A = this chain, B = another copy of it.
Amino acid sequence: MADDKKFVEKITSREEDFASWYTDVVKEAKLCDYSSVRGCLNYLPNGYAIWENIQKNLDERFKKTGVQNVSLPMLIPESLLQKEKDHIEGFAPEVAWVTKGGVEDLEEKFCIRPTSETLFCDVWQKLVKSYRDLPLVWNQWCSVLRWEKTTRPFLRSREFLWQEGHTLHATYEEAEAKTKEMFQVYYDFVTQDLAIPLICGKKTESEKFAGAEDTYTIEAMMHDGKSLQSGTSHFFGSGFPDAFNIKYLDKENQPHSCYETSWGMSTRIIGAIIMVHGDDSGLVLPPRIAPTQATIIPIAQQKEGVLEKANEVLERLQKVNIRTKLDDSEKSPGFKYSEQEMLGIPVRIELGPRDIENNECVVVRRTTREKTVISLDEIETKLPEILEEIQKEMYESAKQFLEEHIYSVTTLEEMKKIGEEKIGFIKAMWCGDPECEDKIKAETGGYGSRCIPEKQEHLSDTCVCCGKEAKEMVIWGKSY
């Protein structure tokens, strides 16, 4: 029995200390660890396999919209980074600089990309000549580096994995529409594949990306009520393309400005999966993204015919593309259950001599521990149904949590009170002045503006902070 509790005992409970719970889960599920390079992570097999599935599903969604993948260099010459004023101001303090190549000091130093707007513009400047060359809808899967001071697994690290899409268009309207289209792709992917409900909208002036005209964000609520920015889509207008002198000739041979977007999602999203769905027994992975969807755990596996049947079930499930593993190691079934729960595998299939005699097996859900007895004849059809049900239930349950933790207020006092007593997001009206935004954050103990939702509500006429005329409703929250 000591064995059975091994994993759970290693995890701090969520209520006791959410931050410790998080790092315990990351460690015990062997998702990633810190490398010898300060602030940089080793993405270990269990963690990287989740990222591989994210890549696969998201990349398919991208390609359906016509995205083409490319790969541009990891280095950016200093002169290139400096071409767009706001951009260099935003990123210069946090880049790493290469100053030596081989044994020689470099004439011009290079930074390791913190993001690649400048590199994409540099390629396009040579490539784009006429309207026939547009639009360009490109993306790359890569890592970027930002010299952060404090780091946390998946949430903030110096080097992290992401995709960065960059597109170039002939008109303002087309680029703006693309910004929103990719924002929608993120929304669909996160809600449908990761079972994470979202709030979404535009960022305020002070929260938007360095150099962008507009930034759209999707934000998820973690179990501690804080927000995690989970994906952003930026509209640049013609700022970058003009700074890089990218012009196209129209049908009448007249030169025109181009319009640009970029959009990114990173390994941070794995942090969101952990903190939205996880519980005190460990990780809980949505079936659509789980590297292993089902583990078969044989009971009394030394008895004749048990492992044989388990292997048969394994093969049958793999044949219908259910990502299944068989744990036939010599550990006790209890230990295996605990391990399956720690790793967040959506279901385990318990299969013992009596089950085999009855031509059935017991499917246990990771989320609720609900047991379902299934005839072995129907396993190929029933298991996908159960996995789909789990996926839906995970979304519904997280959505309920999100909805129960959003409050509407009309005064700063109310806001402070909620900040002290509750966790979650707060809806409140705002005048549009960055000073009020800063003051609200300072006085509520960290409630920053998360987004300006497209679907506005009229909560009151005046700004919750200064009392002047309100411009829009903002969702406020503490954040990672």
Question: Which residue numbers of A lie inside 8 Å of B, CB to CB?
Answer: 33, 35-37, 40-45, 48-49, 51-52, 68-77, 80, 93-103, 109-110, 112, 119, 122-123, 126, 138, 142-143, 145, 147, 159, 161
Q: Contact at A123–B68, with CB atoms within 8 Å?
A: no
Q: Which B residues touch A69, using CB under 8 A?
A: 45, 48-49, 52
Report the bound CA distance from A423 to B385 in whole Å.
Answer: 62
A75 cross-chain contacts in B, Cβ below 8 A: 37, 40, 96, 145, 159
Within the complex, which residue of B110, B126, B145 is in contact with A37, where a contact is CB–CB below 8 Å? Answer: B110
20 A-B interface contacts by CB (under 8 A): A33-B123, A35-B119, A36-B77, A36-B80, A37-B77, A41-B73, A43-B71, A48-B69, A74-B159, A75-B159, A93-B102, A95-B102, A96-B100, A96-B102, A98-B98, A98-B112, A101-B147, A102-B147, A112-B112, A142-B143
B102 touches A159 (CB 8 A): no
Closest to A35 in B: B73
On whether the beta carbons of B103 and A93 are closer than 8 Å, the reply is: yes
Determine the chain B residues whose CB is within 8 A of the CB of A52 once the complex forms: 69
Of B35, B41, B122, B143, the contact of A36 (CB 8 Å cutoff) = B122
Number of copies of this protein chain within its complex = 2
Q: Quick check: A159 and B93 within 8 Å, CB to CB?
A: no
Query: A94–B102 contact, CB under 8 A?
Result: yes
Q: Are B101 and A138 in contact (CB under 8 A)?
A: no
Are B96 and A97 neighbours in the complex by a CB distance under 8 Å?
no
Instruction: From known contacts A33-B126, A37-B76, A77-B36, infer whether A70 and B44 are also in contact, taking CB-CB under 8 Å.
Output: yes
Give min CB distance, A151 to chain B, whole Å: 12
In the assembled complex, the CB of A129 is this many whole angstroms from the nearest CB of chain B, namely 13
A189 nearest CB across to chain B (Å)? 19
A147: chain B residues at CB < 8 Å are 101-102
* Residues in B neighbouring A109, C-beta threshold 8 A: 100
Do B112 and A40 have beta carbons less than 8 Å apart?
A: no
**Known A-B contacts A37-B110, A80-B36, A122-B36; A42 and B72 likewise in contact (beta carbons under 8 Å):** yes
A101-B39 Cα distance, complex, nearest whole Å: 12
Most buried by B among A36, A100, A110, A161: A36
Contacts of A74 in B (CB 8 A): 74, 112, 143, 145, 159
Candidate in A72, A98, A143 with the most chain B CB atoms within 10 angstroms: A98
Nearest opposing residue in chain B for A102, CB measure: B147
Please give me the residue from chain B that is nearest to A141 by CB atom: B141
- Are the CB atoms of A71 and B33 closer together than 8 Å? no
In the A-B complex, the 4 residue pairs with the closest CB atoms: A45-B68, A97-B100, A40-B73, A43-B71
